[in-house]
Amino acid sequence: MRSSVTVIEVSTTIRGIPSEVALSRRDGLPRRCVANADNIVTIPKQWLTSRIASLRRAKLEALDAALAFSLDLPLAVPS
């Protein structure tokens, strides 16, 4: 089992750039914010004590696109 996990920062600083995915109460967050794919870090799994949100498919696809943009990767096309 992995002892670390890679995460993306969630921030209330909203810049409206392609590496951000807008999130809100509908996504389980307490206020408007963004997942910022420019800030990817690996942390010890034990730092995560509870789940605050579970993203819908559309948000996960937007996060895939934001990650592809940030890492300069081709966007995978679902088959």
Does 13 map to a domain?
A: yes
Residue 45: CATH number of its domain: 2.30.30.110
Q: How many domains does the chain have?
A: 1
The ranges of the chain with pLDDT < 50 are none
How many CA atoms, within 13 angstroms, populate the side-chain half-sphere of residue 40?
A: 14
Does 17 map to a domain?
A: yes
Does 77 map to a domain?
A: no
Does 78 map to a domain?
A: no
* pTM for this model (two decimals): 0.82
- Contact between 6 and 41 under an 8 Å Cβ cutoff? The reply is yes
Does 45 map to a domain?
A: yes
Mean pLDDT score of the chain: 92
Domain, as residue range, for 24: 4-71
What does the alpha-carbon distance between residue 64 and residue 11 come to, in Å, rounded to a whole number? 18
